[in-house]
Structure 1
Amino acid sequence: MSTQETDFIDGKDLPGFHSLLGYHQASWEENEAVIALELQPRHLNLGGVIHGGVLTSLLDIAMAQAGTYCPYPGRMRKAITLSLTTTFTGQCSSGTIRVTGRKRAGGTRIFNSTGEVHDDQGNLLAIAEGTFRIRSGSDKPEGVPI
C-alpha cells in the first residue's frame, strides 16, 4: 500500500463518520478486510460497554471493504449497503477490538459478506451479514481515484 492509501484507510484522512470512529486498517486483501479499534470512552454506551451502533458501523465498513479491495495505489472501490443484520453476542469496555469482514458470494454488482467482532481475548462480541452493491465506476478492479 502506498503512504497516501495507508493514511486514508488508517483514519488520518478519512472523511466524516469514519474519522469519528477512529479505527485503523489491520489488513486488507481480496475478499477479506480486518479493521481494529482501540476503545475510547466515546465508543461506550451509558452502561459503560461498547455501543451497538459502533459495532454495527465497524461491521458495515469491514464487510463492504471485503468486496471492494483495490490493489492500485491512490485508487479505491466503493459500495453501498443494501441490507445489514447484526447479532450481538458479548460486550466489553476496554482494549482493542478486531472486526473481520469476508466476502462470501456475489456477481458483478451485488455481493454478500459476513462479519465478526472479537475483543483482544478472542471473545466474540457480534456477528453480521450484509448485502452490498458496487457503486458506479467501482465495478472494475482499478476503481476510482481517492
Structure 2
Amino acid sequence: MSDQQHLITSARDLPGFHNLLGYHHVSWVEDETVIELEIRPEHLNLAGVIHGGVLSALMDIVMADAGTYCPYPGRRRKALTLTMTTTFTGQCSGGVIRATGRKRAGGARIFNSSGEIHDDKGNLLAMGEGTFRIRSGSEGPEGVPI
C-alpha cells in the first residue's frame, strides 16, 4: 500500500457531520486535498438543486484539510475555521461533485486556503477562501488519534 492509499478516507470512517455528508477523499497531500460527494436526495434544497449549506460544508472541510495533512494512519490534524467566504456560481441536481482545497499561506498556527467545487461536467459550483487555526495538539505532523 502506498503512503497515499492509507490516507484516503471515507466520511463513514469519521464521526458526526462528516459521516452525515458522506464524502470521500480522492487525494490528500501536503497543501492540497480533493474530496468527492455523490449527490443524494438529502443534499438537495426545496428547489431540487444542491443545498448551499452542503457546498459550504464541503468547502470548509476541503480548505481546512489542505492545511492539516497528516501522514500517519489512524491520526489526524485538526483546525478551527476563523473566517470563510463562499461564492456560489452554479447549481446541479445529481452526479458527483469534486471539491479541491489548496493551502496558500501560513505560519506555525494560522493558515489561509482557497477552494473550488465543480460538478462532474467541470462546471464551477462554488469558490471560497478561509483562514484557519491549528488546534492545540495538532501542531506536529503526527496529529492526534481519530
| Alignment TM-score > 0.5, same fold | yes
- Superimposed CA distance per residue, residues 97-133 of structure 1 (whole angstroms, 9 cap, x where no aligned partner): 0000000000000000000000000000000000000
Aligned counterpart, 1:113: 113
Q: CA deviation at 1:74?
A: 1.8
Structure 1 position 145, deviation (Å): 1.6
- Partners of 2:100 and 2:124 in 1: CA distance: 11
SS class of match (2:12): coil
In structure 1, the partner of 2:38 is: 38
**Structure 2 residue 97 is the aligned partner of structure 1 residue 97:** yes
What TM-score does the superposition give when structure 1 sets the normalisation length? 0.94
Once residues 70 and 37 of structure 1 are traced to their aligned partners in structure 2, the CA distance between those partners, rounded to angstroms, is 22
3-state SS in 1 of match to 2:42: helix
C-alpha deviation, 1:12, in angstroms: 2.0
Secondary structure of residue in 2 paired with 1:37: strand
2:128 matches 1:128 = yes
Is this contact kept in 1: 2:12–2:18, CA < 8 A? no
Unaligned 5+ segments in structure 2 are none
Give 3-state SS (helix, strand or coil) of 1:122's partner.
Answer: coil
In structure 2, how many angstroms separate the alpha carbons of the residues matched to 1:73 and 1:39? 28
1:61 aligned counterpart, secondary structure: helix
What is the CA-CA distance between 1:82 and the residue it aligns to?
A: 0.3
The aligned length equals 144
Q: Which amino acid aligns with 1:99?
A: A
Q: Secondary structure at the match of 1:12?
A: helix
